[in-house]
Amino acid sequence: MTEKTSDKTTHFGFTEVPIGEKARRVGDVFRSVASRYDLMNDVMSVGSHRLLKRITLESAAIRPGHMVLDLAGGTGDVAALLVPLVGAGGQVVLADINGAMLETGRDRLLDRGIASIDYLQADAESLPLPDDTFDRITLCFGLRNVTRKEVALTEAHRVLAPGGRLVVLEFSKPRNRLLRRAYDSLRSTWPHIGRVLAGDEDSYRYLNESIDMHPGQEELLGMFEDAGLTRCRYQNLLDGVAAVHIGEKA
């Protein structure tokens, strides 16, 4: 299934809600799981999310001196990988709409001795940033939680510098039928695991359903193009369990 948004409603998992309500509900989910977010990702990806993020950053082709915006940066695991890539002459900005997630990320990074990152609480659909600023934008496992994905992609295009690159890693649609069945069976256990590990079955159920509602590879590729990005392409990871989408600003 793909997300279909009317003028008044959108999907929160499998539930249809008013557009203005989705952001609040998603915020509640991530406030609930903020302290256990890395554990949640390990469970949902069977530990593979760390490798998938490293592959994604290779696709980003980040160089010393680059300005990089990490959107929906969560607990900062991607931002921590970005810091050595941009070097002393570059800059990393970790942005997230959720204050609890941002605070968790900042605290963890400071505990690791990483103090060079700038933090920004911001909605991906309305970035308080100037045009033509960033050499790279990364967005890992966060786009499916955005209400108006097409608006967020247009905003990313706006703040990219000419020649800049947007790289999005997200759960997607497995190509192999047998793998898809096994993957769906695994995902059906996530709410139960969430109840056991985090005492929060509902949040994990939403995160599971949000994968089903997220656009498939080709549809998301079209959304990249509609946002004005060029040289758009994608790479399936784990046969499409996840996919890296890339677009550039002319």
Q: Using one digit for the tens of pLDDT, what is the confidence trace for 171-219?
A: 999 999 999 899 888 888 888 877 877 777 887 788 888 888 899 999 9
Is pLDDT larger for residue 90 or for residue 11?
90
The whole-number pLDDT of residue 3 equals: 43
User: Do 111 and 43 touch, CB atoms closer than 8 A?
Assistant: no
What's the Cα-to-Cα distance from 213 to each of 2, 115, 127, 182, 216, rounded to whole Å? 5, 37, 24, 18, 9
Q: Hey, how many other C-beta atoms are within 10 angstroms of the C-beta on 132?
A: 12
The whole-number pLDDT of residue 13 equals: 60
The whole-number pLDDT of residue 199 equals: 76
The two three-digit tokens of residue 213, written as one number = 């509602």
pLDDT, mean of residues 114-125:
96
pLDDT, mean of residues 74-91:
95
The whole-number pLDDT of residue 32 equals: 67
The whole-number pLDDT of residue 16 equals: 75
Q: Does position 37 have pLDDT exceeding 90, yes or no?
A: no
pTM: predicted TM-score of the whole model, two decimal places: 0.87
The whole-number pLDDT of residue 236 equals: 97
Output the 3-class SS for 128-160: CCCCCCEEEEEEECCHHHCCCHHHHHHHHHHHE
Angle, alpha carbons 170-176-179 (nearest 5°): 80
Return the H-helix or E-strand segment holding 212.
helix 201-213
Is pLDDT larger for residue 50 or for residue 135?
135
The whole-number pLDDT of residue 2 equals: 41
Is pLDDT larger for residue 250 or for residue 45?
250
Q: Nearest Cα to 216, choosing from 248, 238, 241, 181?
A: 241
Percent pLDDT > 90 in the chain is 63
Extract the runs of DSSP E, i.e. beta strands, from 26-173.
67-71, 91-96, 118-121, 134-140, 160-171
Instruction: Compute the mean pLDDT over every residue in the chain, rounded to the nearest whole number.
Output: 88
Q: Does position 240 have pLDDT exceeding 90, yes or no?
A: yes
The two three-digit tokens of residue 8, written as one number = 């008044």
Q: Using one digit for the tens of pLDDT, what is the confidence trace for 131-183?
A: 999 999 999 999 998 989 999 999 999 999 999 999 999 999 999 999 989 98
User: Do 15 and 206 touch, CB atoms closer than 8 A?
Assistant: no
Those residues whose C-beta lies under 8 Å from the C-beta of residue 122, and which sit 6 or more positions away, are 95, 96, 97, 128, 129
Length in residues, the chain: 250
Which fold, 9-248? Rossmann fold (3.40.50)
Look at the block and give the residue holding tokens 């997607």: 172
Is pLDDT larger for residue 231 or for residue 15?
231
Q: Nearest Cα to 2, choosing from 235, 219, 180, 175?
A: 219
